[in-house]
Amino acid sequence: MSVPLAWQSPIGRYTHARTLTELLGPSIAEFFLGGGIMTNLAKRLLFPILALRLLLTIFIGAFMVIETQAADSQELLVFVTSFATGEQGAIHSYRLNPITGQLIFIQGTKSVENPFFIVVSPDEKFLYSIHAPGAFGGGDSEQVAAYQLVARTGQLKLLNRQSARGSAACYLDVDATGKTVAVANYSTGSVATFPVNSDGSLSEAASFFQHTATLGRTPKPPQDQARAHCIVFSPDNRFAFAADLGLDQIFCYRLDAVTGKLTPNQQPFVRTPREAGPRHLTFHPNGKFVYVINELANSVTKFDYDTLSGMLIEQKTISTLPDGFEGSSFCADLKITPDGRFLYGTNRGHDSIASYRIAEDGSLSLVAIEPSLGKGPQNLVITPQGECLICANMPGNNVVVFHIDPQTGALKLLQQPVAVHSPSCLVIR
C-alpha cells in the first residue's frame, strides 16, 4: 500500500501537494505549503491537525458502523410460505423492520411443494415444513421436511424428509428441547412425532395416533370423521395437545422428551362446544390458560390448564364476529402478544382480525374487529417484542404488517400490503 505523505527530510520539501489539498482542503493546504516550502509553524501544526483529522474520520466511520449494526440488529427474519404446487410452491424469506413495518424480500426456496405450515426450532438453527408434492390432501402420505437455516441469510439447506404418516398434513410444532417434531394430518385425522437428530434432520416417526369418532356420531362434513388440525406442546414440555376439528375434541398426550414418544394422558381428551370445529390452540405466556379458536362456530374458547395432570377445564366461549353478521365465515388462527395482554383471531369470509384484551383471570373482552386488508386471513405472527402483528391473507395473495398499540391492543396499518402468492404460514426468526 502506498504512503500518501512523502518527505525529503524532517524539514524538507513536501512533494504531494495534491494529496495534502485533498486531506485538508485548498485554503489550509495553501497555508502549509506557502509556495512549496513549509514554515516552522506549519511543520509544528501539520501533524496534530492530520492526527485530529484521522481520529475524526475513524470516529465517524465507527459511528456509522455502529448505526448500521444497530439497524441490522433490529431487523427480523420472516419466512412466508406460498401454498402451491410446482415452481409456485416456495418458502420466501424477508427482512422486517419492526419500527417501520417494511418487509424486504431476500430470496425464495423452491424445492418444496404445498408448504402449508412451517415452524422454527427453539435454537433458531432449523426450520421444518410440510412438503406435499402434487395434490395436497390426496391419497398418499405427505412429508415433513427438515432444513438448516444458513446464518441470517434467509437461505435454507434441505437436510431430509420423512413421511408425515397421513394426508393433508397441516400443522407442525417443535418441543422445548428441539428434539421432537410433531405433525397433525387433517384428512386422515392422525398425529405423529419424529425424533430430531443432532444435525437437525428427522428420524422416522417415533409415535403415531389415529383419532377415531365416538359411536353414534353422524354429523355432516367436515365433522363426519376425525380431522386433526393442530398439535401443540405445552410450555412445560410435558404434554402435547391436538385439536380435532371433526370430533370437537382436544386430545392430550404425555411427552417423553428423551425418546420423542407420545402416550395418551389419563384424561385422553376434552370436548369443545358441539359443532364448534376446534382448529388451532395456543397457551398464554403464563402457562395457566389455553385458548382454542373454533373454525365452524367462529369463536374462541378459554380453558384453564392444570400443569400437574395436563387436564383442560373449559371456562367460556366468545364470538369472533360482530353482532348481526349473517354471512359465511370460518376462523383460522390465533396468537397472543408476548406480554400476555392481547389475543388476536382471524375470520375468513368476514375477512377480519378480532382483537381481545386478556384479564388477569384469562377471560377475554373484545377490543375491536379490524379488516385484515385481504381476503381469507389464514395465519398470524407477532414480533418477539410485540410491536407488530403480521397477517397472511392466503386467497388475497398478500401479507400485511400492523402496529400493535401497547396500551389498547388496537391495530394500525404500517405499510401497504406486500404481494405474495397464496401465503399460508408465517414464522419469525
For 371-408, how does the pLDDT look when each residue is reduced to its tens digit (9 = 90+)?
Answer: 999 999 999 999 999 999 999 999 999 999 999 999 99
Structure confidence by residue, pLDDT tens digits, 338-371 = 999 999 999 999 999 999 999 999 999 999 999 9
Tell me what the pLDDT averaged over the chain comes to.
88
Average pLDDT over residues 45-53: 55
| Whole-number pLDDT of residue 49 | 54
User: CA–CA distance from 170 to each of 62, 118, 189, 289, 374 (Å)?
Assistant: 48, 9, 11, 24, 22
Name the burial class of residue 60, with classes exposed (0-12), middle (13-18) and buried (19+) by CB atoms within 10 angstroms of its CB: exposed
The region of weakest confidence among 24-33, 46-55, 105-114, 190-199 is 24-33
The region of weakest confidence among 14-23, 142-151, 180-189 is 14-23
Report percent pLDDT > 70 for the chain: 82
pLDDT surpasses 70 at 208 = yes
Residue 209 near residue 262, CB atoms below 8 Å: yes
| Whole-number pLDDT of residue 220 | 84
pLDDT surpasses 70 at 216 = no
Pairwise CA distance, residues 257 & 121, whole Å = 15
Q: Which residues pair with 379 in a beta bridge?
A: 392
* pLDDT range class, residue 217, cuts 50, 70, 90: low
User: CA–CA distance from 316 to each of 77, 125, 230, 282, 303 (Å)?
Assistant: 36, 38, 21, 15, 7
The region of weakest confidence among 38-42, 133-137, 250-254, 285-289 is 38-42
pLDDT surpasses 60 at 68 = no
* pLDDT range class, residue 45, cuts 50, 70, 90: low
Q: CA 425: distance to chain centroid?
A: 8
The region of weakest confidence among 2-6, 44-48, 192-196, 337-341 is 2-6
User: CA–CA distance from 238 to each of 142, 200, 241, 307 (Å)?
Assistant: 27, 21, 10, 9
36: three-class secondary structure by DSSP: helix
Structure confidence by residue, pLDDT tens digits, 7-32 = 333 333 333 444 444 444 555 455 44
pLDDT surpasses 80 at 4 = no
Q: Which residues pair with 309 in a beta bridge?
A: none
The region of weakest confidence among 33-37, 86-90, 134-138, 221-225 is 33-37
Q: Is the dihedral of CA 185, 272, 288, 305 positive or negative?
A: negative
Pairwise CA distance, residues 233 & 241, whole Å = 6
| Whole-number pLDDT of residue 37 | 47
Q: Strand pairing of 228-233 and 207-210?
A: unpaired
